[in-house]
Amino acid sequence: MDQYKVYGNPIKQSKSPLIHTEFAKQTDQAIEYTSQLSELDTFEQDIAHFIKAGGKGCNVTMPFKERAFNLANKVSERAQLAQAANTLSFLEDGTIEADTTDGPGLVNDLLANGICLKGMSILLVGAGGAASGVIQPLLQSQPRMLVIANRTVSKATELAQRFGHFGNIEAKAFNELDESYDLVINSTSTSLTNELPAVPSKIFKQNAYAYDMVYGDKPTLFVEWAYQNGVKLALDGLGMLVGQAAESFYIWRNVKPDLLAVVEKLRGEL
């Protein structure tokens, strides 16, 4: 059986083994996927051992995403842009390929929920690591425009410059937000502390969509607030988690699993 792992520190909380095991069942793939704690000073050694033992690939989570990127001798364009990787593939000839699937994970989840980004106006709130990983895949879906708004506006401006050649992208401060959008994505960490970013409620068009990258065992504050302001559908980040795993699974196995069934199963276990 082909072996895969997820490395992180801490790792106990990882849902990746469960998700990939579900994908494998669903698609009849003979794989084994387990989680592995890596110590801060042994990550590279751990990966080398796994490759020697015949491992086919791994996911990498905090705090090793930059080190995983640096380990690779072949990197995807999106990993290059992020300077970080969450998916490594170990090829027969010794090549280590790195990719990052968080952005495609978000787009996969939006598509699985029937949200087609082509022609949409999108507002991305936040400009940290979570935001920078999703900008290119969002722009590749050909929205009409993407606005990035951040509490610290200089970070939004830097991202708009870095990704400017991929599409129509603009940076704004929260207090400059005077338009409504078809889709509003919250990439800030505010839901983790039960807060809202200080953005006006008029950002939501009537029947807009909302997406919070955070998830929990009940709707996040942002999801609730979006519904109070007339959105048609507000999703949390559980689907993005499953979506990024699905993209890794596709890279390794060349099969696309069904996301929604796995999201539902995980939701029941939160």
List, by residue number, the catalytic residues: 65
DSSP label of 188: S
Question: Of 150, 229, 244, 248, which lies in the binding site for ligand ATR, with binding defined by CB under 6 A?
Answer: 150
Q: Is 151 in the site for ligand ATR (CB under 6 A)?
A: yes
Instruction: Tell me how far CA of residue 149 lies from CA of 146, 166, 198, in angstroms.
Output: 10, 18, 10
Which residues fall in the annotated binding site? 14-16, 61, 77, 86, 102, 126-130, 150-155, 213, 215, 237, 244
The strands making up 233-235's β-sheet, listed across from edge to edge, are 169-172, 145-149, 121-125, 181-186, 204-212, 233-235
Write the CB contacts of 104 (distance below 8 Å, at least 6 apart in sequence). 78, 137, 243, 244, 247
Question: Of 188, 220, 244, 248, which lies in the binding site for ligand ATR, with binding defined by CB under 6 A?
Answer: 188
Measured distance CA(152)–CA(224) in Å, rounded? 25
Question: Of 6, 72, 96, 127, which lies in the binding site for ligand ATR, with binding defined by CB under 6 A?
Answer: 127
Residue nearest to ligand ATR (CB): 128
Cβ pair 217, 270 in contact under 8 A: yes
Which residues fall in the annotated binding site for NADP(+)? 77, 126-130, 150-155, 213, 237
Please give the helix or strand (H or E) that residue 206 lies within, else none: strand 204-212
Least Å distance, CB 240 to ligand ATR, is: 12
Least Å distance, CB 177 to ligand ATR, is: 13
- Residue range at the interface with ligand ATR (CB under 6 A); choices 13-21, 74-82, 134-142, 188-196: 188-196
Which residues fall in the annotated binding site for shikimate? 14-16, 61, 86, 102, 215, 244
Question: Of 189, 233, 251, 267, which lies in the binding site for ligand ATR, with binding defined by CB under 6 A?
Answer: 189
Angle at 3 between CA 269 and CA 96, to 5 degrees: 115
Least Å distance, CB 135 to ligand ATR, is: 12
Q: Is 8 in the site for ligand ATR (CB under 6 A)?
A: no
Long-range (24+ apart) CB contacts under 8 A made by 93-97 are 96/51, 96/71, 96/72, 97/72
Both tokens of 10, joined, read: 């801490």
Q: Is 240 in the site for ligand ATR (CB under 6 A)?
A: no
- Dihedral (CA of 220, 114, 159, 198) sign: negative
> Residue 41 half-sphere exposure, CB side, CA atoms within 13 Å?
0
Q: Is 130 in the site for ligand ATR (CB under 6 A)?
A: yes
Question: Of 104, 126, 137, 239, which lies in the binding site for ligand ATR, with binding defined by CB under 6 A?
Answer: 126
Q: Is 57 in the site for ligand ATR (CB under 6 A)?
A: no
Question: In the complex with ligand ATR, which residue's Cβ is closer, 24 or 135?
Answer: 135
Chain contacts with ligand ATR (rule: CB under 6 A): 126-131, 150-152, 155, 187-190, 195, 197
